[in-house]
Amino acid sequence: MANANLAGLQRGSVAVVGAAESDLGQVAQGTHPMDLMAQATMRALEDCGLTLKDVDGLFVAATQVRMGPMAFAEYLRIKPKYFDGTVIGGSSFMTHVAHAQAALQLGLCSVAVIAYGSTQRSVSRAAASPRDFNPYESPYRPFMPSTAYAMAAMRHMHQFGTTREHLAEVAVSARKWALMNPKAWEKEPLTIEQVLNARMVSYPFTVRDCCLVLDGGGAIVMVRADRAKALKKKPVYVLGTGESLSHANISSMPDFTVTAAKESGAQAYAMAGMKPADMNMLSLYDAFTITPILFLEDLGFCPKGEGGRFVAGGTIAPGGKLAVNTSGGGLSYCHPGMYGLLVMIEAIRQVRGECGQRQVKNCNVALAHGNGGVFSSECTVIFGAEATL
Amino acid sequence: MSSLMEKSPLGVFQAHLTKGELAYQVCHDDNKPFFYPRAHAPVTGSENIEWRISKGFGTVYTTTVVHYKGEPPLNVAMIDLDEGFRMMSRVEDIDPMQVKIGMRVKFRVFPGTDKAAPYPVFTPAEGK
């Protein structure tokens, strides 16, 4: 009953002790992605009372910094004993949590920092995330990644009767949460009609079905559980992790309505010894309105095909049955290119009880799910408060 | 042992296209067709691979219409070929919004230019 990929990981052996965003939105011209990484890292260290001198594990992924751990170690002038630069898109950082847990458990490092930064709004998405040329896809000029997710949405609509209104409901729910998050980019209410009538990007997606394109970054600090309690904030323990690679290019996705979240979720639940009903809130990577719908299905919150009908009527909005993406998500809070670190930071803050107006009551367990590429890499982390150990 | 010194998978694929043929590969170890073309078959890792020519008929698996600013709407679709492989392509000779999942389509070559290689596209083939 262990994580199939990382069978040696032990539930609750490590904890997140520090978490912070960098400045978000549109930063000053000339800001480097590593300026944002450093800002977030120092804020996350301040959050837990550790210093840069304590950091001996470094985990970095960024599209604008090709050799992340090396470049960021130089920026900080530290010599980490252990480092990992796995880049699998927006879910990279969930993978880093699992890999940091392994390194911490083995004593390969004792204070691990996971960091990300992007200036994609300032420099343009094309410059921040240039795409590989693929002779079997590029000639057709798909607008990636939107076109890939749009084709998944179309297949889901065809097979299960999901509607554009169902998709829009995800954006509207996210916006309602965002209005309770002072750090969210979007400040105005949003209606289903506004989503449907916005500029078309790749059918069935309008621009309101697509995530924001913003500058931003984040960092978290992890230590072994025995050290976590002595630090400033309540530790948030890693109860379960799961990682799964399905494909890289959308043409190779086996079934456009089923994601590898089925596998990463099953691994995370098994390691945590928990089930979907045990989760108090979900932080689901919402690059597009279809993504939380598929993840709700594949992570076991509704049957396959029911995701659209599940979110209808405000189920995942404030006051609904299931708290999802309470930050406002990538759709309304912030999406800096690879959004997975911010996905986890919201889950961590909910378990700490730091979310103010949008705080989920008695939130002891939160699931953070990351997605990378075009439904290509799916990684799940379950976080828990001390009471869950 | 096969060699990559003289022919590449993409090179063979494009050579067939210039003859008006849609080529794909089958692994003889597990008898499964696959696409995109590779030097070694997926799963088996085998180089015991045969090139075959598709009859060119397929079904739209999914579709979208891309809206680039200042350009007409552009279809992008995934096509399931009858031989059992899937590829990204475009359905032409039809309003992009009228390309429907389940629609039957027929392969043709979109001709290359000095700068770009030819590539496969599809047209509606109802009843085929």
Q: What is the CATH number of the domain that holds B118?
A: 2.40.50
Kindly state the DSSP code that residue A139 receives in the 8-state scheme.
G
Alpha-carbon span B30 to A310, nearest angstrom: 41
Residue B64 and residue B38 in one domain: no
B63 at interface of A, judged by CB pairs closer than 8 A: yes
Pick the residue from chain A with its C-alpha nearest to B64.
Answer: A203
User: What's A138's DSSP letter?
Assistant: G
Which of A267, A245, A287 is closest to A378 using CA atoms?
A245
Residue B3 domain-assigned (yes or no)? no
Q: What is the pLDDT of residues A326-346, one digit of tens each?
A: 999 999 999 999 999 999 999
CB atoms within 10 A of CB B112: 14
In a domain, B27, yes or no: yes
Residue A288 half-sphere exposure toward CB, CA atoms < 13 A: 26
Same domain, B39 and B94: no
Determine, for residues B64 and A203 on separate chains, whether the beta-carbon distance falls below 8 Å.
Answer: yes
Give the residue among A239, A217, A310, A270 at the shortest CA–CA distance from A23.
A217
How many angstroms separate the CA atoms of A258 and A378, rounded?
Answer: 11
Same domain? For B114 and B74 the reply is yes
Task: Specify if B112 maps to a domain.
Answer: yes
Domain count, chain B: 2
Q: What is the pLDDT of residue A6?
A: 57
Same domain, B41 and B81: no
Residue B62 lies in a domain: yes
pLDDT tens digit string along A274-290? 999 999 999 999 999 99
Judged against a pLDDT cut of 80, whether residue A3 lies above it is answered with: no
Q: Are residues B111 and B81 in the same domain?
A: yes
Q: What is the DSSP letter of A229?
A: T
Same domain assignment for residues B65 and B114? yes
% pLDDT > 70, chain A = 98
Q: Are residues B72 and B110 in the same domain?
A: yes
B117, HSE (Cβ side, Cα atoms, 13 Å): 19
Give the tens place of pLDDT for each residue, A54-90: 999 999 999 999 999 999 999 999 999 999 999 999 9
Residue B75: φ, ψ to 5°:
-80, 140
Query: What is the interface size between A and B, counted as CB pairs within 8 Å?
Result: 73
Q: A190-228: per-residue pLDDT in tens?
A: 999 999 999 999 999 999 999 999 999 999 999 999 999
Residue of A nearest to B36 (CA): A136
For residue range B43-97, list pLDDT tens digits in order: 999 999 999 999 999 999 999 999 999 999 999 999 999 999 999 999 999 999 9
Calpha distance B63→B75 (Å, rounded) = 7
Q: Extract the runs of DSSP E, i.e. beta strands, from chain B.
A: 23-27, 32-34, 49-53, 57-66, 74-81, 86-89, 104-110, 119-124
From A141, which residue of chain B is nearest by alpha-carbon distance?
B76
Q: Are residues B92 and B61 in the same domain?
A: yes
Distance from C-alpha of A24 to C-alpha of A214, rounded to nearest angstrom:
7
Q: Do residues B79 and B114 share a domain? A: yes
Task: Tell whether B36 lies on the interface with A, counting CB pairs under 8 A.
Answer: yes
Q: What is the CA radius of gyration of chain B?
A: 16
User: Do residues B64 and B41 both lie within one domain?
Assistant: no
Whether the per-residue pLDDT at A1 is higher than 70: the answer is no
Q: Could you tell me if B30 and B70 lie in one domain?
A: no
User: CA of B6, closest CA in chain A: separation in Å?
Assistant: 19
Nearest-Cα distance to chain A for B66, in Å, is 4
Q: Provide the terminal-to-terminal Cα distance of chain B, rounded to the nearest Å.
A: 40
Across the interface, whether the CB atoms of B90 and A135 are under 8 A apart is answered no
- Asked whether residue B2 is domain-assigned, the answer is no
pLDDT at position B127:
83
A226, A189, A195: which is closest to A208 by C-alpha? Answer: A195
Give all domains of chain A, ordered by start, each with its CATH number. Answer: 14-126+212-388 (3.40.47.10)
Question: Chain B partners of A147 at a C-beta cutoff of 8 Å?
Answer: 64, 66, 76
Q: Spell out which residues of chain A touch residue B88, defining contact as CB-CB under 8 Å.
A: 136-137, 140, 142, 250-251
Question: Does residue B4 lie in a domain region?
Answer: no
pLDDT at B128: 81
Q: Which of B122, B117, B70 is nearest to B96 (CA)?
A: B122
pLDDT at A368 over 90: yes
Q: Is residue B1 part of a domain?
A: no
* Chain B (70-109) residues lying within 8 Å, Cβ to Cβ, of chain A: 74, 76-78, 86-90, 97, 101-102
Domain coverage including residue B21: 9-53
| pLDDT, average across residues A181-198 | 98
- Confidence band for B1, pLDDT divided at 50, 70 and 90: low
Among A110-114, A313-317, B1-5, which stretch is predicted with the lowest mean pLDDT? B1-5
Q: How confident is the model at residue A2 (pLDDT cuts 50, 70, 90)?
A: very low
The answer to whether A155 contacts B62, with C-beta atoms less than 8 Å apart, is: yes
Identify whether B73 is part of a domain: yes
What's the predicted TM-score (pTM) here?
0.97
Cα–Cα distance, A225 to A215 (Å, whole number): 33
Helices first, then strands: H and E counts in chain A: 14, 11
% of chain A residues with pLDDT over 90: 97
Alpha-carbon distance A29 to A100, whole Å? 33
Which residue, A124, A103, A121, is CA-closest to A112? A103
The mean of the pLDDT values for chain A is 97
Same-domain check for residues B115 and B72? yes
